[in-house]
Chain A
Amino acid sequence: METILFLAHTQADGNLLNVALETLGAAVELSQKLQTSLTVGLVGETVQAAADAIAGCGAKRILAVQGKDFSASRYASDAAAITALARQADASLILAPTTSRFSRALPGATQRLGGRIETHVSGIEPAGDTLQIQRWYYRQRMKATLSRSQRPWVLLIDSGVFSAWQGAAGNAAVENVAVSLDAACQRTSVVGEQAPSSQAQTIRPDAKLLFVAGAGWNKKQSDGQIHLKDAEQLILGFLNKSKASLGSSKSLVDQSSEGEAVLSFMTHLNQIGQTGSTPRHPKGLATCCHGEEPHAVGWRFINERRAINLDPNCGWAQGKADVLYVADAFAVMAKVNQLLEG
């Protein structure tokens, strides 16, 4: 019989991220389907508030590695904490959210545990005596369903796949698991965080809309001129009003490293597609984007998709968008901004 461990780390405010609650939702559902017990493992400076918030999830035990040494996102301390929690829980299945912190620490911790790990998991389903998971290969170009015999099996769950767990808070009894860090685990110190050198916050993972700006924005327009400043004002204006997240096609990002004029707020971090991210948002609006697969994988996980493009046969939109407006994006977005203002 499987034993399930749900792992999460707290944020600076002591709470859990939404993707952690989504993973908890998946873990609770799986434990019910497999009729097995669920253990919660938390890592952070202090975890009581987070444990109380999920006290009603039905976990048999809530284990924690907590203290100042575990407040920061650092490989050595996180891997030690995760390994200790997994061993204490004697877990065969470990479900954890896809966060930068766990994406760094869990593969090495899995190695220590002698287990196997699957990341970017987008589906979990019991199948007879086994458990099958789904994930994408070749940068979201093909989907596989697979199972494994090795245990522990660690599954890093992508955001936006499962519904967040909702339930009653309570007073959780937290069992502390002692982890001592030697000097070798403290060679790295986290100094802080910094935003990239761009003019505005343009990446919003929790936004309802992904706005994709393609290379067409910084090409010559119908008057034979490049209108980069106009493009910047229109895009930033739209992002501010709609609170959308900004994505860019690879070609646009590449142009900056090739010395061509590009939108000043666009960085590599905005890149979506084959060598960028494939974010999950309910809606997506692509403007001036061109290209066939694989560039179009950047909006593989966008539910409702619309595009504005001068080319009605554009491979970015044909067969991939719900609606394609054949129009000048400069003109349309100017009107959209006016309407959003009013």
Chain B
Amino acid sequence: MSTGLHIVVCGSLVPDPLQTLTPVQGPTGPALKNELMLPAILDPWAGHALYEAANLAKKQPGSKVWLVSLGNKAKLQQLMMSIAQKVPFELVPLDGPAGGFTDPFEVAEALAGAIEKIAGLDRSKLLLFGGCASAVRDAGVTMPMVAERLGIHDQFLAVDEIDVQTDGSFKVLERIEGGRYQVSQCAGMPAMLAWATGSLPEPPNNPQVGMLNMRTIMPVLQKAQPALLKGEGVIFASVELPAQRRETKIVKDMPPEEIAKEIVAWLKD
């Protein structure tokens, strides 16, 4: 397509998965202990979506990528210090909670509202990207709800590949049961693709890209609109860490033959 694509990626920050996470009861519901102090990363599947978007935009001249991100403004600024160096994009920030216990219905409403306000966004060229699920809520419902609010009825979940043709139509590979892919052909934009891992590695840092991105990121972060997520209608009776710790029997100095016999007997049990 000579006219380029308008790719909007929804993705937010999540606590670094290597951190210890402890649930606590906050004033408005469950939260994480020291949530604002935890190091954050870009949500992994949303990250894959962003890198795939940038790669696609690079191949389609005249394309543009926006990253719509809902999170604490100060944390978003920290996150941008690393993400902005990866690929070119324009940030659309929303200042609000990004934890797992927020309501995806309300999050979708906030994200769709922000996307509708993007100046110059052409829906006939729109590809809405995001992760197939977040690493916090792991529900996989936000992107379809955002798309539905935007009137996008071509939706694909757990995407690993898109192949855009010259006429604007595209082929999509979605993960389905049994480690297989469903192959679909779509007539064209607008469409929503919620990405699994895709096939691209994390791009290396590029300071020039970072400088270019940060020029627009800092001003929009200062003016980030608050997103009021009330969590209405949901009551968390409890949030707890799994208490189970198994009594591991450690078997040392047993010959491989004996171990094999024991394992085979266990498998056949």
What residue of chain B has the Cβ atom nearest to residue A242's Cβ? B267
For residue B227, CB closer than 8 A to chain A, the reply is no
Separation of A120 and B100 alpha carbons in the complex (Å): 14
For residue B68, CB closer than 8 A to chain A, the reply is no
The reply to whether A111 and B144 contact each other, CB–CB distance below 8 Å, is yes
The reply to whether B180 and A193 contact each other, CB–CB distance below 8 Å, is yes
Q: Which residues of A contact B263 (CB under 8 A)?
A: 285, 306, 325, 332, 336
The reply to whether B246 and A142 contact each other, CB–CB distance below 8 Å, is no
Other-chain residue from A142, A147, A323, A328 in contact with B241 (beta carbon distance below 8 A) = A142
Binds B, one of A49-57, A133-141, A164-172: A133-141
Binds A, one of B72-80, B146-154, B205-213: B146-154
Q: Which residues of B contact A270 (CB under 8 A)?
A: 179
Q: Which residues of B contact A117 (CB under 8 A)?
A: 104-105, 139, 141
- Closest-CB distance, B138 to chain A (whole angstroms): 6
The reply to whether B260 and A326 contact each other, CB–CB distance below 8 Å, is no
Q: Which residues of B contact A326 (CB under 8 A)?
A: 250-253
Other-chain residue from A257, A319, A325, A327 in contact with B245 (beta carbon distance below 8 A) = A319
For residue B188, CB closer than 8 A to chain A, the reply is yes
The reply to whether A147 and B235 contact each other, CB–CB distance below 8 Å, is yes
- Closest-CB distance, B144 to chain A (whole angstroms): 4
The reply to whether A190 and B183 contact each other, CB–CB distance below 8 Å, is yes
For residue B156, CB closer than 8 A to chain A, the reply is yes
The reply to whether B17 and A274 contact each other, CB–CB distance below 8 Å, is yes
For residue B128, CB closer than 8 A to chain A, the reply is no
The reply to whether A320 and B248 contact each other, CB–CB distance below 8 Å, is yes
What residue of chain A has the Cβ atom nearest to residue B249's Cβ? A323
For residue A163, CB closer than 8 A to chain B, the reply is no
Q: Which residues of B contact A110 (CB under 8 A)?
A: 141, 145
The reply to whether A100 and B140 contact each other, CB–CB distance below 8 Å, is no
Interface size range on B against A: 35 or more
Q: Which of B180-207 contact A (CB under 8 A)?
A: 180-188, 196-197, 199-201
The reply to whether B138 and A75 contact each other, CB–CB distance below 8 Å, is no
Known pairs A108-B147, A138-B21; A75 contacts B155 (CB<8 A): yes
For residue B178, CB closer than 8 A to chain A, the reply is yes
The reply to whether B182 and A100 contact each other, CB–CB distance below 8 Å, is yes
- Closest-CB distance, A138 to chain B (whole angstroms): 5
For residue A192, CB closer than 8 A to chain B, the reply is yes
The reply to whether B30 and A144 contact each other, CB–CB distance below 8 Å, is yes
The reply to whether A107 and B145 contact each other, CB–CB distance below 8 Å, is yes
Binds B, one of A26-34, A62-70, A196-204: A196-204
The reply to whether B135 and A111 contact each other, CB–CB distance below 8 Å, is no
Separation of A198 and B93 alpha carbons in the complex (Å): 40
Q: Which residues of A contact B181 (CB under 8 A)?
A: 193-196
Separation of A318 and B246 alpha carbons in the complex (Å): 8
Separation of A188 and B30 alpha carbons in the complex (Å): 40
- Closest-CB distance, A252 to chain B (whole angstroms): 13
For residue A61, CB closer than 8 A to chain B, the reply is no
What residue of chain B has the Cβ atom nearest to residue A334's Cβ? B256
- Closest-CB distance, B112 to chain A (whole angstroms): 10
Separation of A107 and B235 alpha carbons in the complex (Å): 20
Separation of A318 and B181 alpha carbons in the complex (Å): 36
Separation of A132 and B140 alpha carbons in the complex (Å): 20
- Closest-CB distance, B194 to chain A (whole angstroms): 8
- Closest-CB distance, B260 to chain A (whole angstroms): 3
Separation of A294 and B15 alpha carbons in the complex (Å): 12
Q: Which of B213-269 contact A (CB under 8 A)?
A: 233-242, 245-254, 256-257, 259-261, 263-264, 266-267
Q: List 10 A-B contacts (CB under 8 A).
A: A112-B148, A146-B234, A150-B233, A184-B153, A190-B183, A190-B184, A191-B183, A191-B185, A205-B177, A294-B17
Q: A residues bordering B, Cβ < 8 Å? A: 73-76, 79, 99-101, 103-108, 110-112, 116-120, 127, 130, 132, 136-150, 184-185, 187-196, 201-205, 209, 242, 257-258, 267-271, 274-275, 283, 285, 293-294, 300, 304-306, 308, 312, 317-328, 331-336, 338-340
Q: B residues bordering A, Cβ < 8 Å? A: 15, 17-18, 20-21, 23, 30, 44-45, 100-101, 103-105, 108, 135-145, 147-149, 153-158, 160, 171, 173-188, 196-197, 199-201, 233-242, 245-254, 256-257, 259-261, 263-264, 266-267
